[in-house]
Chains A and B, each alone.
Chain A
Amino acid sequence: MNSQNRKRLRGLSVHAVLMICVVISVFPFYWIVVMATNTSQDIYSYPPKLWFGGNLLTNIQHLFDKMDFFGSLLNTVTVAVCTTLLVLFFDSLAAFAFAKYEFPGKKFLFGLLLAMYILPTQLAIIPQYEIMVQLGWLGTLKALIVPAAANAFGIFWMRQYTSTGVPDELLDAARIEGAGFFRQYWHVVLPCVRPALAFLGIYTFIAAWNDYVLPLVMLVDPSRLTLQVALAQLYAGHSTDYSMVMAGVLLAVIPLVLVFTFFARGFIADATKGALR
């Protein structure tokens, strides 16, 4: 009896510690909403307001005066959607070749893929900038989309899934029917790898949405920014008008986080698989 009580107490304290960590994890989102729905004066005052206010719409209005929100949103969505679609197509196609075929140089090419995995992008960013100048792409969204249209992680991830998730019998059947490489890809591989594509798609979309460094360097035209760059500039220029800046953060960041929580379970399972290989 006594030991049972102690066991229960230990269980409770485990949950208490975990709950504290959960609160720390999600507290910023709560506090961003508090700041975005009050006035900056409320935030400055002491003691600070700890609950939601009714000033959100006014803050959003101020935000729209100071920042081209919908323009930046459109740019961000364009970059994220185009990058994601291109990555899904190119990575899964390359992964199919790596997973199911032998060809000269395959080992070398795949090894190269692994070696390039963790190279910091900053090593390349100055010449990248110059290349964009030469191509006339500087300041355009192409400068963000094209370099990111295929990546090593995606190929690696898709190859893993393709080699086990696409039955060889199906490919053989397609081949007997006379389907070539690309028709096999389209009719057999793509339907089979959908779960892996879902993860890669969400991953790529979020990464493109949140990217800051490349847009900061490439988007030199202040009237054509992505949300992240526009937000950072808004903060740099109006760092004390918290409620307005936080309204921007709320609109630009929180929807994505909320949408993510719907897919979270499967995504997290895949993310650990991807990390641990």
Chain B
Amino acid sequence: MSSSPVAGPAPTGPSSGPATGPTGQPSPGHRRGPGRPGRRVRPVSAVARRGPRRGIARYWPQYLAVSPYYLLFSVFMLFPMLYTVYLAFQKWDGIGDMQFVGFQQFRFLWDDPIFWMSLRNTLVIWVLSTVPMLFMALLLAVLVNSTKRFTGFYRVALFIPSITSLVAIAIFFGAVFSNNFGLINAILKGLHLSAVPWMSNEWTIKLVIAALMTWQWTGYNAIIYLAGLQAIPSELYEAARMDGAGPARILFSITIPLLRPIILFTVVISTVTGLQSFTEPQVLFGSDASTNPNSGGPGQAGLTTLLYFYHQAFDNNDFGYAAAIVWAFFLLILLIVVINWRLVQRKERRP
């Protein structure tokens, strides 16, 4: 068929793609004319079968085009993820033989106080960062949206933290919040207040990490919200104002309800990324757990679950236990995302 196309909705030649051609253009207008017979006959499979090529082989260019991602994904993501499940039921140091231990790793996890502490740290840091972050982002977006001047400048300035290297930011925060030599404590001293030992108190450590995350992502979220705000027709605001609604009433009755899908998006993204904090405490409190028993800082207050996972895997070479930690943690993230989703969705149904 490929060399002598027939009339009607017959498939085109093999290399020019599938029967329908470009989506939405299934017309026969682009069939190859008989003027180029045989030009596109494909070797391999076509030769073997002669005559019209049927089935899946016809689509080989498309499959070839999409294959790199799925190949890489299978080798470096899908297979490893499943293998991590397998590992969670083994005892393995990465070199010797694996030993099947059943649910022992998970039982150990359940009784491991450091795991629970790392979860608590992670959740506290997440709440301390996400709540003010999204709230301030919404406020900033409303402010930028209310003015017409310098908006381009504001957008760029607010966006820049989100493309800055996290390592650099962590080093900067470490220097500025340093107990003895930090800028913050110098300012407090200048105001005749007592210095705060930011980097050795259980709560201030979490506060510093949360502040870091807030600094990095508030502007990004503000710009996402801003895009949503600009899509709200201004007639709605005018109508509300005509009816005598004040700015607060407009915010809660028009802006937030109409932004709900976007708010849902930012909540999900902030949950997924915020719970995965790792680089912040890892850079702030040194990298080597074997020389530093206080990994995660004094009192392990900055030990997040992923940092704990990293130590178990790559410092203690306890791969089986690390696999159990990371899968348990992933399921927890999933659960929290679903809960968040439900919460935001339910509010939507309310009038």
Contact = CB atoms under 8 A, between A and B. Distances in A.
Contacts of B298: none
B265 to A, nearest CB: 7
B301 to A, nearest CB: 18
Contact of A26 (B147, B157, B163, B180): B157
Nearest to A175: B30
B191 to A, nearest CB: 12
A25 B36 contact: no
B181 A18 contact: no
Contacts of B87: 126-127
Contacts of A104: 56, 59
Interface stretch (B16-24, B115-123, B200-208, B249-257): B16-24
Nearest to B283: A232
A94 B69 contact: yes
A109 interface: yes
A31 B157 contact: no
Nearest to A203: B163
B22 A171 contact: yes
Given A46-B186, A47-B186, A236-B287, A172 B29 contact: yes
Residue among B17, B176, B272 with the highest chain A CB neighbour number at 10 A: B17
Interface residues of A, number: 103
Nearest to B319: A126
Contacts of A273: 227
Given A90-B69, A122-B306, A127 B140 contact: no
A149 B71 CA distance: 11
Interface string B132-147: 0000000010011011
A150 B143 contact: no
B323 interface: yes
Contacts of A242: 175, 181
A123 interface: yes
Nearest to B95: A133
A126 B323 contact: yes
A88 to B, nearest CB: 12
Q: Dominant SS at the B interface?
A: helix
Interface string B6-47: 000000100111111111110001101100100110000000
A75 interface: no
A128 to B, nearest CB: 5
B65 A181 contact: yes
A53 B169 CA distance: 22
Q: Dominant SS at the A interface?
A: helix
Interface stretch (A54-62, A192-200, A205-213): A205-213
A180 interface: yes
Contact of B22 (A123, A151, A172, A232): A172
Contact of B75 (A26, A94, A131): A131
Contact of A276 (B77, B158, B262): B262
Interface in B67-81: 68-70, 72-73, 75-77, 79-81
B286 A240 contact: no
Contacts of B327: 123
B156 interface: yes
Nearest to B228: A276
B20 to A, nearest CB: 5
A1 interface: no
B219 interface: yes
27 contacts: A22-B154, A25-B215, A28-B161, A28-B169, A43-B181, A44-B181, A93-B66, A94-B68, A101-B21, A101-B22, A101-B62, A109-B70, A121-B77, A123-B326, A126-B83, A126-B326, A152-B69, A155-B69, A180-B40, A231-B167, A233-B287, A236-B283, A253-B164, A264-B155, A265-B152, A268-B156, A271-B159
- Per CB-CB distance, the 3 closest pairs between chain A and chain B, nearest first, are A127-B80, A181-B61, A124-B80
